[in-house]
Amino acid sequence: MSNKTINVTRSSMPEFDEYCAEIRCLWDSRWLTNAGSKHRQLQQQLEAYLGVPHLALYTNGHLALENVIAAMDLPAGSEVITTPFTFVSTTNAILRCGLVPVFCDVEDTFYTMDPGKIEALITEKTAAIVPVHVYGNLCNVEAIGAIARKHDLKVIYDAAHAFGARLHGQGVGSFGDAAMFSFHATKVYHTIEGGCACYHDDALTDTLNERRNFGLHGQEDCLYAGGNAKMSEFQAAMGICNLRHIDGEIARRGEAVAHYRQRLEGIPGIRLCPAQEGVTPNHAYFPVVFDGYRFTRDEIFEKLKENGIIARKYFYPLTNDYTCMSHLPTGGAHKTPVAAHIAARVLTLPLFADLTAQDVDRICDIILG
């Protein structure tokens, strides 16, 4: 058996010469940031690929989410219903906009926000819902949209995990008032670091562009206390290259997922997410829940680690169990019991385009051994 280290993810990259050819013009223009030609080209290509009307590029996904929440101009101190089963960036973006996260539990099949539990959390202070597409599993966008329309709430999706996923052929970034994608190096599609906000309202274009550039309006005024969240030309060039290959990358990840399923499906005590009806998946992650298996999640994690395989307890702990969330009214994992149950038992196994069938067999042999 091979003893090579297998990390939980491995960044996909174009051929070196392809990237060099893409950035060659930057040595002539010396335009390295501030929405240059590569930035504009990538923006147009992503709008077409994702099927969204408008898209703003950012240096990372967190700032994209924070900026698009801020651009909604929600009253300070408003409540935002969200999920604790996410990376802390989601919750931090809400807090940093001066808003109050209210945690809704998840459903136990795809681990996304449970629409049946949203309305009980709505108060006169509720202004928005920030659901999260988890592992590439899509939220129930129809049910969430109906609730939002009924109560006149904004819906901003954290779609960090969902690049390239579609529901009945419709790009996932087109749901809600806005959606954020992360282009971090660990994601299905990346620009080294990066992200974007997709949105419908034309009026948000200037606001988002100004907020990511210190809040500057023209040369002589500043409208917002903005920051610096601009994507560089080198990031955009990597994105242009990677977008050429994205469908093939997703297909190769799907082959690894199919092999995992062949080895692990139907094993008592091991739970896998089923395929979602009508969804074209992006195979972003492969979560496994060890629930009643002869080894606990933590024991499996250690067994894999001892054999040079790095899995991830993702998401653990829940964001509503972090110290900085303890003051919130729905703080504490005990208040979202389904999410807490999954978080204590879930492990995301290595998954990337270069993962071979032999690698998958090595990982599964350890789990089943």
pLDDT tens digits for 349-369? Answer: 999 999 999 999 999 999 999
Across the range 318-347, mean pLDDT stands at: 92
Across the range 152-166, mean pLDDT stands at: 98
Please provide the average confidence, as pLDDT, over all residues in the chain.
97
Q: Please tell me the distance from the alpha carbon of residue 98 to that of residue 73, in angstroms, as a whole number.
A: 11
Does 118 have pLDDT greater than 80? yes
CB 117 within 8 A of CB 167: no
What is the predicted pLDDT for the residue at 330? 77
Quick one: CA dihedral 83, 85, 86, 91, positive or negative? positive
Q: Please tell me the distance from the alpha carbon of residue 139 to that of residue 102, in angstroms, as a whole number.
A: 17
* pLDDT (tens digit per residue) in 163-175: 999 999 999 999 9
Q: Which CATH number applies to 16-105+112-240?
A: 3.40.640.10
Question: Predicted confidence band at 63 (pLDDT cuts at 50, 70, 90)?
Answer: very high
What is the pTM assigned to this prediction? 0.97
Does 249 have pLDDT greater than 80? yes
DSSP conformation class of 134: B
CB 96 within 8 A of CB 211: no
Q: Where along the chain do its domains lie?
A: 16-105+112-240, 246-368
* pLDDT (tens digit per residue) in 299-308: 999 999 999 9
For residue 166, list its beta bridge partners: 171, 280
CATH class, domain 246-368, is: alpha beta
Does 343 have pLDDT greater than 70? yes
CB 80 within 8 A of CB 98: no
Backbone angles phi, psi at 98, to 5 degrees: 75, 25
CB 72 within 8 A of CB 177: yes
Quick one: CA dihedral 167, 170, 172, 178, positive or negative? negative
What is the predicted pLDDT for the residue at 181? 98
Does 1 have pLDDT greater than 70? no
- Sequence-distant (6+) residues with CB within 8 A of 262 are none
Segment 45-50 long-range contacts (CB within 8 Å, at least 24 positions apart): 45/240, 45/243, 46/196, 46/239, 46/243, 49/164, 49/171, 49/243, 49/246, 50/163, 50/171, 50/173, 50/174, 50/181, 50/198
Question: Predicted confidence band at 331 (pLDDT cuts at 50, 70, 90)?
Answer: confident
